[in-house]
Structure 1
Amino acid sequence: MNKIREYFENIVEINDSDWRLFSSKLERSDYPKKAILLEVGQTERHLSFIAKGSIRFYIPKLENDSTFGFCFENQFVSAYDSFLTQKPCAYQLQTLTETTLWRISHKDIQEIYAKSDIGNTIGRLTAENLFLIKSEREQSLLNETAEERYLALIKKRPNLIREIPLKYLASYIGITPQALSRIRTRIS
């Protein structure tokens, strides 16, 4: 739980009273590798902090799933659009490794926003960070070649290259696994 407080304190100072309120609402959950955390059609009820592990966001398809996001240790994870609207999700979340999450419910986060001095600031800054990651990826897909996207991933998010199976990585940058193998051969 201390990692969560450190995460917040990198953004803004959080007093002990606000931290006690927030941390009292957290629940620990452990998941095996390849566990489905949220299925298409379910509503996201939690905002989670990854204490250990990695998670992928994907749209399941008959032949090849479309992976469009990843989250790693010391990051918040959620099907955030579903969490905000409390409407069913159009994609799934799956663990890629054994994963430990600290989870807080939608109801409890609303209480923290109402009762704490810092809750709204933390919520806004976390949402802004998630938006920037999403915006950067969308612009990359529109403006860069597959090779440029792969090289940018190596530079900006090396943990992707180490932790993610190539088929998911290829889907994430919008190419086939075979095309990714050719890129990897060409640049090595």
Structure 2
Amino acid sequence: MERLKELLAVECSFKPSDKLLDDFLKPAELVELRKGEILIMSGRLEPNIYIVKDGVIRYSYMDGIKEVTYVFALPGSIIIAMHSFYAHLPAFYQVEACCKSAVFKIPQSHYEHLVATSHEFAQWALRYAQGQLFFLEKKDSVVNGNAKERYLSLIKKRPEIIQKVPLKYIASYLGITQPYLSYLKKQLQNK
């Protein structure tokens, strides 16, 4: 649990106290996932909060024609189906494990109680949310350029994704086909 608290503290510019993180994690229930197991099903209500303990978790959606990988969550990341959490609507994204993974489940009611009763927690939650918005924008600056540049950037900046995630999901994330990603991978190995 100490490593998870360290990762949660690093994800945000506001450094929470150990007591705050202990209070936040107090009701946490461990959920273990097999590779490919769905944590949050698109179209279903899921207002709970999850924190990635181990593994890699993938957000995806259907664009009408194909499945698109939107983002990956690594240890220390908080997963929230915002449609469900905020608006009490069915989840938009499907969230699943890319490899054997573990997450902690925290009830929405506990999170909301801490926001209402702890100024420190409310500050941390706001800064964490702002940080997530920053990282989504940063993703667009990291995963840009031509396909080869995007792949090289991912190798350099997020090697754990390259190591643990199936090629088809990485290709979807990069916006290229799996055969083209295999070609790029082979081309780089031959250099």
TM-score w.r.t. structure 1 length?
A: 0.86
**2:15 equivalent among 7, 12, 23:** 12
Number of residues paired by the alignment? Answer: 186
**Offset of 1:76 from its aligned partner?**
2.0
Structure 2 portions without partners, runs of 5+: none
Could you say which residue in structure 2 is the equivalent of 1:158?
A: 159
8 Å Cα contact 2:16-2:124 kept in structure 1: no
Could you say which residue in structure 2 is the equivalent of 1:106?
A: 108
Q: CA, structure 1 residues 94+13, in 2 after alignment: closer, same or farther (shift >3 Å)?
A: closer
8 Å Cα contact 2:52-2:103 kept in structure 1: yes
**Offset of 1:186 from its aligned partner?**
2.7
**Offset of 1:167 from its aligned partner?**
0.8
8 Å Cα contact 1:8-1:122 kept in structure 2: no
Could you say which residue in structure 1 is the equivalent of 2:54?
A: 52
- Is the partner of 2:176 in helix, strand or coil? coil
**Offset of 1:95 from its aligned partner?**
1.0
Could you say which residue in structure 1 is the equivalent of 2:42?
A: 40
- Is the partner of 2:85 in helix, strand or coil? helix
Q: CA deviation digits over 1:14-71, x for unaligned, max 9?
A: 153x344323232222222211111121133122111122211112479852111111
8 Å Cα contact 2:7-2:75 kept in structure 1: no
AA aligned to 2:124 is I
**2:25 equivalent among 7, 23, 31:** 23
- Is the partner of 1:43 in helix, strand or coil? coil
Distance between the aligned counterparts of 2:83 and 2:133, measured in 1?
11
Q: CA deviation digits over 1:115-148, x for unaligned, max 9?
A: 123211221122122112211233456x521111
Instruction: Report 1:117-132 matches (<5 A).
Output: 117-132=119-134
- Is the partner of 1:100 in helix, strand or coil? strand
Q: Which moved more, 1:109-118 or 1:7-16?
A: 7-16
Distance between the aligned counterparts of 2:45 and 2:61, measured in 1?
15
Distance between the aligned counterparts of 2:125 and 2:16, measured in 1?
14
Structure 1 portions without partners, runs of 5+: none
Q: CA, structure 1 residues 69+177, in 2 after alignment: closer, same or farther (shift >3 Å)?
A: same
Distance between the aligned counterparts of 1:183 and 1:127, measured in 2?
35
Distance between the aligned counterparts of 1:20 and 1:160, measured in 2?
29
Distance between the aligned counterparts of 1:37 and 1:92, measured in 2?
8
Could you say which residue in structure 2 is the equivalent of 1:2?
A: 2
